[in-house]
Amino acid sequence: MNFEKSREEKTCACVLNRREKKFYAFKKSHFDIFYTVPPNIDDALTSSDVIIREGDNVTLRCKAKGSPEPSIKWKRDDGLKIVISKTMEVTEVEGDILELERISRLHMGAYLCIATNGVPPSVSKRIKVSVDFSPMVWIPHQLVGVPMFFNVTLECFIEANPTSLNYWTRENDHMITDSYKYNDFAEETLRKKFRAKKIMYIKKVQLMLLVAAWPYLITGQTHGQDVNKQQIENILHDLNANIQPCQSFFDYSCSNWKQRHQSDYYKDITGLVELKMNKVLAEFMETQPAKAGLKSYYESCKKAGTIEMEKYLQIVRPGKDLEWPILEELRNPNLIWPKENFQLLETLAILQNYGFNNVLMNVEIRWEDNKKVSITLQAPEKTETIDKNSHLKSLAILKLLGVNTARISSYMQQITSIDKSLQEVVTNAANSNDAVIPLTLDDLKQSYPLLNWDIFFKTRLEERPENLELKILLKNWEYFQKLPDHLKNQDKELLCNYLMIKFLKFLLQDMPKGHEKLDCVQDLRKKFSIAMNYVYQQTLLPRSLAENYKKDIFKIFTKIQKTFLKYLNENRLNLSTTQVEFLISKLMNTTLLLPSIASTDFMDNYYKSLPQFESNNYAFNHVAYLKQHSSKRYIIQELLFNQQDPILSSSSIPYYHRSSNQIILPHGYLQLPIYDVNLHALYKYSILGFILSHELMHAFDSIGITYHSNGLQHLTGYSILQHKGYSATLDCIHQQHVTASVNERLADLLGVRIAYDAYFSENSLEKLLPGTNLPEKRVFFLNLSQFFCSKMNINYPEHDDDKMRLHDILKNFEEFVETFQCSQNDKMHPKEKCRMW
C-alpha cells in the first residue's frame, strides 16, 4: 500500500495495487486527516500586567492558537469572584476580552486567562491588575472619651495603593513621634495588602480628652468665627493664582479642590453632603436603638453577600402552582413545564405589584380613594439611558441561578430575540396617534379581545374590577393592536423566562450598590424615606436649632422673592399688565418647604402593612418593601402625606414642585460647605441663596411659566412663553452653545443675578469681607464657584457639566466682569450676554 500526499493540505490519497493475472487493478480512496495541536497563548497579542487609576476602564486581552481553535475564559487567581458591578459578581467570564469598567480596588488582583480546546494540556497566563488610588482613612469610633490620668488607644484604618506614608498629628499639625507619653505602634497590614491599621497609645491623659476622628457633622453647632475662617481658608486653598480668572474662572477657583476631597465616595459638593448625612445616619444605626423594622432591614443589608436570585424567585412566582421554567429545569431536567397553566398578563400583573413596569406595556395606576382608580395604559417608554451592561447582567443572572454554560448560550439567544422583536413592535407603532382615549373595561375587552384583561386587572388591583370605579385611559392604540398578534407567535415558556430575566434585572437596579454601612444607610433612605427623615431630624436637629434654621433661611428666601418682585415691576420684557400680574401672583404664592417631622402615629399607620423584617434575609425584606410600596394603601397614604410634606430624604438635592408651587429644601443641603446658621451672610447668599433662586426660577422657565400658582396650566402663561422678549432670551441662550438643558441654564443665569442683588442691595458699599483683605464682591463669586468645584467633568442628565455651568453663569453677568476687570478679548467676557428679567 502506497500513500501519496495530495495537493490539498490535510487530505491524503490511499492507492491499492492488486496484481491479478496479466493486468493490474487500481483502487484509490481519499480521506481527511485532522491535526490536533494543544493550545498556546500568544504573548505578543495578550495583555501583560497593568497599573491603572481607580475609576478608569481597563481591557484585558488574551489570544491563543491551537487546533481546534481554543476557547478562552477568565478567572481570578485567588479564587474570588470577578466584580462586574457593586451588586454583581461572577465566577468566570468567557471570551478573549475581559472589560472592567470604572475599576475599583475590588478589582485588584491577578486574573487567569485560561485557553482550552479539548487537547491537553490547557494553558493559562497570569495577568496582574494593580489599582492606584489616593489614601482613604476611616475610624471605628468617631469620639473617644477618657478621664484624667487614664490611658487611651486610638485606632485608624488606611487604604492606599501604592502604600501611603501614615502618621499622627495634633491640632496644630505637628507630627507626633514616639515618646514616653505617645506610642505610635508599627502598622499592621491587614488581609488586603492595600489596607493597614494604625494604633496610637496615649498614657496618662492630663485633661479630660475628647478625640474627634472626623469632624462632627451636625450643622449649627459650631462657632461663627470657626466656620467663617474655615470657609475662606478652603476658598483660598482651592485657588490657582497662575490661571487668569477672566480666561477660565473654574480652573482659577477650583484647581486644588480635589486635593481637599480625595474620598472615593463622592465627586462633587452634592456627593459630599450626601456622604456627611449618611455617616451620621450610619453612626446612629450602629450605636443607637432604632425602630425594630429599620434595624432588621439595615442588618440584613449588611449581611447580604452573594445575591440570592433563586430566593427571590421562590417568593415571587409566575402564577398559582406555577414555577419559573428555568428553575423547574434546574431541579428536574426531565420534567415538562406546564405551559397550559401560564397566563402572560397574570404574570405581568404579579410582577407589576412589586413595582416592575415598562415591559410589554407601561401601566400607571392612581388610586383616588379605596374605590376610585385611574389607569393609564401605554406602550413601553424608551429609557433615556441605555444600560451598556444589560447583556452582561443577564449572563450573570443565569450564572447565579446555576445554569450551565451551554444552556446560558441558548437562553441568551432566545431572550435577545424576543427583546429585539418587541422593540420592533414598539418602534413601528411609535408614530401612531398618541392621543389619550378614555375607555371602559368592556370597551377595552372588545377592542383587544386576545389580551386577558379580566385576569390582569383582578391580579393587578387585587380586587374584582366590577367592584371598583375604573377610569381607563389608553395611549398608543396601534401598539395594543399589534401586540396580541406578535405575542401569539411566541413560545409561552420563552415569554415566561423573558419576564423573569427582566424582573431580576429590575431587582438588581433596586438593590444597594454594596453592603457596607454607608451603602445600607443609603438603601434605607431610598426605601424608608419618611422614617429616616424622622430619625435624622429627631436625633440630630434639636427643635431649638431647627427653629433657628427656619427663621434664618426664610429670611433669605423672602429677600430673594422681593428682589425678583422688583425685576417683574421693572418689566424689561414689556409684558402686558395682565401678564405681569399673573407672574407676581405666582411669585407671591410660591412657598419654601423645609423639612418637617411626621408624627409617630402617622408613621406607624404608614408602615402598618409591612411584615416583620428578618435580620438575616434581605431578599424577603426587599420583596416585602416592594410589595408594600406598590400597594393601593401605600399610594393613597403617600398622596395624603405629600400634601403635607413632599420631602423625601432619599436625596439631598432641592427641587421645585410644580403642582404645589413649592421649593423643597431637604436636610442634606443644610450643612457645610453650603450652609451653617453662623456663616457670614455673604457666604449664605452666594451658595444657598443661589440654590433657592435657581429653584424659584423653575417656576418661570419655559415649562413652569405655563402653570398658574394653583398647579394648573393657564393661557396667560402660554402667552408669556410666546412673547418675543421671552423667546428672544431662549434663542440667545441656545446661540451661545446648544444645550438640552435650556431651562436649567436659564435658572442658573437668573439665580445668580437674584442672589447677588439680594445681598448687595443692602451691602452696596465697596468693602472687605470681615477677617480678610478680600473685597466682598470677589468672595461672592469665589464662594459661588465652590458649589461647582468637582474632581472631574461629570455628565449630569439634567444639567451641563459643572465647568460649563459656572462659565455660562459668569459670562452673562456684567458684575463679574466688572469685579475681576475682564477685558473684551477675555473668554469670560463675550460681547453678547443673555438676560431674561
Residues near 726 by beta carbon (within 8 Å), at least 6 away in sequence: 573, 705, 720, 836
Name the phi and psi angles at 214, rounded to 5. -140, 150
Amino acid at 690: F
Tell me: the pLDDT tens digits for 345-401? 999 999 999 999 999 999 988 888 788 888 999 988 875 445 667 788 888 888 888
C-alpha to C-alpha distance for 721 and 574, rounded to whole angstroms: 13
Sequence-separated contacts (24+) of 85-88 with Cβ below 8 Å: 85/389, 85/393, 86/513, 86/514, 86/519, 87/307, 87/508, 87/511, 87/512, 87/513, 87/514, 88/307, 88/393, 88/396, 88/508
Cell (9 digits) for 318: 409566575
What cell numbers appear for 690 in the block? 443661589
Exposed, middle or buried by CB within 10 Å (0-12, 13-18, 19+), for 193?
A: exposed
Contact 41, 26 (CB under 8 A): no
- Distance separating the N- and C-terminal Cα atoms of the chain: 102
CA separation, residue 727 to residues 178, 393, 566, 610, 709 (Å):
70, 45, 21, 51, 22
Other beta carbons within 10 angstroms of residue 817's beta carbon come to 20
Provide the 8-state DSSP code for 179. -
Do 309 and 504 contact (CB within 8 A), yes or no? yes
SS3 state at 164 = coil
Q: What integer pLDDT is reported at residue 766 of this predicted model?
A: 75
Kindly list the distances between the CA atom of residue 32 and the CA atoms of 11, 100, 119, in Å, as whole numbers in the listed order: 5, 43, 19
Q: Which domains does the chain have, with CATH numbers?
A: 37-134 (2.60.40.10), 308-510 (1.10.1380.10)
Q: Residue 639: what pLDDT?
A: 47
SS3 content of the chain, % helix, strand, coil (to 5): 45, 20, 40
Amino acid identity at 14:
C
pLDDT at residue 149 in the model: 56
- Report how far residue 785's alpha carbon sits from residue 690's, in angstroms, rounded to the nearest whole number: 11
Low-confidence ranges of the chain (pLDDT < 50): 1-11, 19-27, 190-191, 206-224, 384-385, 639-649
Max CA-CA distance within the chain? 130
Residue 99 DSSP one-character state: E
Do 782 and 232 meet the contact criterion of CB atoms below 8 Å apart? no
The confidence score (pLDDT) of residue 25 equals 46
Which residue type occupies 603?
A: M
Could you tell me if 110 and 78 are in contact, meaning their C-beta atoms sit under 8 angstroms apart?
A: yes
Task: Note the pLDDT tens digit of each residue in 449-487.
Answer: 989 999 999 999 988 988 989 999 998 888 898 899 888
Could you give the 3-state DSSP secondary structure of residue 748?
A: helix
**What gap in Å lies between CA 42 and CA 47, rounded to an integer?**
10
Give the integer Cα–Cα distance in Å for 612 and 293.
7
**What pLDDT does residue 154 have?**
83
Does the pTM surpass 0.85? The reply is no
Taking only Cα atoms into account, the Rg of the chain, rounded to an integer number of angstroms, comes to 33
